[in-house]
Amino acid sequence: MAQNRVPIRRVLISVSDKTNIEMLAKGLSRLGVEILSTGGTAKILEQAGLVVTEISEYTEFPEMMDGRIKTLHPRVHGALLGRQGVDDEVMSQHGIEGIDLLVVNLYPFESTIKKADVTLEEAIENIDIGGPAMLRAAAKNHDRVTVLVNPEDYEEMLEELSPYGGISHANRHILAAKAFAHTARYDGLIANYLSAINDNEEVQDFPRFFTQQFKHRSELRYGENPHQKAAFYTEQNPPAGTIGHAWQIQGKALSYNNIADADAALNCAKEFHDIPVCVIVKHANPCGVATDDNQTMAYVKAFATDPTSAFGGVLAFNRKLTGKTAESILDKQFAEVIVAPDFDKEALKIFATKKNLRVICCGELPTKAKPWKMFKRVSGGLLVQDADIQMIDVKTAEVVTKRTPTDQELTDLAFAWKVGKWVKSNAIVYAKDAQTIGVGAGQMSRVDSSKIAVWKAGEAGFDITGSVLASDAFFPFRDGVDEAAEAGVKAVVQPGGSIRDEEVIGAADEHGLVMVFTGRRLFRH
């Protein structure tokens, strides 16, 4: 059964994405495979010097309705669905010759709906009908028919076909699954788009039906705990600078938590474009972040924030990681994962001495974040929201206190605010000289987070005097401000919006603090 190769004598090619199609067709032609094709694909193949039978000639039925009907014919679908040894007689009776290989990808619906000025009419005209019907037919009958939807599979298929004259049952099965996944994703895109359009033909943010497809990337060592099984799935063509795009250079297999923490660290690092940054994450929260013109110093300062928590942490950088930085990391700590856009040769040589260390390359980081949807599974449902990609420029935010900030305070406030965005609420970040000196996270009250951040700063040997504080949400009472002032904080950035804002601002004025309102909350539950 694993081999059970079926000879390929006839192919039907009808593709929207023409990538490598000439290479495939020429390879098939050299093997004596008869080529059937449609419309624009047929013209391209003919221009390449190939002998092609146009589909209307094969079916003896013309294309019609502006190409809406061209492959919807019994001689096509019978040729794809006919079972060897079962339907031979009926196929012969109706003059249906089997198609052994189908090469199809679909109208560009996805790229069409991404256009800013797309109309509903244009979108509908780019819904493929014949293509999915053929793919489903061929995939259903993969016991006899080979089906290709991805140009990346062309070369491998030819390599198997050349010496054997057919494709193994195992590979036909895999290719059939790919075809059904291809049509499923296509139908999901259409359903999402159409169900998001209201009666005025306006596209709403969230469709009535929500379908999203992800591709299996790898099995993971385990889930959040060793007794939980886990796997990693990625979206189609994840962009560079994301964990979905990243690849592992060395180290042990990744766990669920490794990937989650690497994602958190990398996303925080992306907030800093103009200067090297190091972000250290432990259990979903940044425990140390620092920027510096010198990458190694950025790491040294980030580590100094909380050396205890940094042990076994996940490190992310926004620049190519150098050998000097790699040497400093191994000298100071045990790390689980290190992720960066790239690594120089010396860094990889140094990391290779720690064979279990997971080293991940994510590719070039984007300079500007693009909108995307975040999902959270709940029992019986799914929460969907816009990713929080916007960042308020603290230097242009509203100063609500009598005292205005100095340039250094503004710089530190902007730094702390970017870090606070990636700390799980309630988030309190103390910072000084573009370095975190205390981070409080995940408490039920904001004042407790403040106390923890102060305590951590003390444990690490930092003097909070002259530092700044960022809070991911408003202070509901003045006690958080009093706590910060007592610790030596000189400036605070927070969203504002509490019914007690005046009381809180008054407390800041009493202590001679600067307070800046951003008007935007940064909760990350």
259 in Cβ contact with 314 (< 8 Å): no
Contacts of 513 (CB under 8 A, 6+ apart): 401, 403, 481, 484, 485, 489, 490, 491, 492
Q: Which of 26, 73, 140, 215 is flagged as catalytic?
A: 140
Q: What are phi and psi of 215, to 5 degrees?
A: -105, 135
Give the pair of three-digit tokens for residue 280.
Answer: 């250290």
Residue for token pair 């916007």: 390
Closest CA to 384 of 179, 182, 174, 207: 207
523 vs 525: CA distance, rounded Å: 6
Give the pair of three-digit tokens for residue 153.
Answer: 């599979």
Q: With the C-alpha atoms ordered 449, 450, 455, 457, is the resulting torsion angle positive or negative?
A: positive
Catalytic site includes residue 283: yes
435 vs 422: CA distance, rounded Å: 15
469 in Cβ contact with 484 (< 8 Å): yes
418 in Cβ contact with 272 (< 8 Å): yes
186 vs 213: CA distance, rounded Å: 10
Exposed, middle or buried by CB within 10 Å (0-12, 13-18, 19+), for 466?
Answer: middle
Q: Which of 169, 245, 283, 320 is flagged as catalytic?
A: 283
CA 465 to chain centre: 41
453 vs 461: CA distance, rounded Å: 12
The order of strands in the sheet holding 146-148 is: 53-54, 34-37, 10-14, 101-104, 146-148
- Could you tell me the CA-to-CA distances from 159 to 4, 100, 153, 155, 514 in Å, in that order? 17, 17, 10, 6, 69
Residues catalogued as catalytic: 140, 283
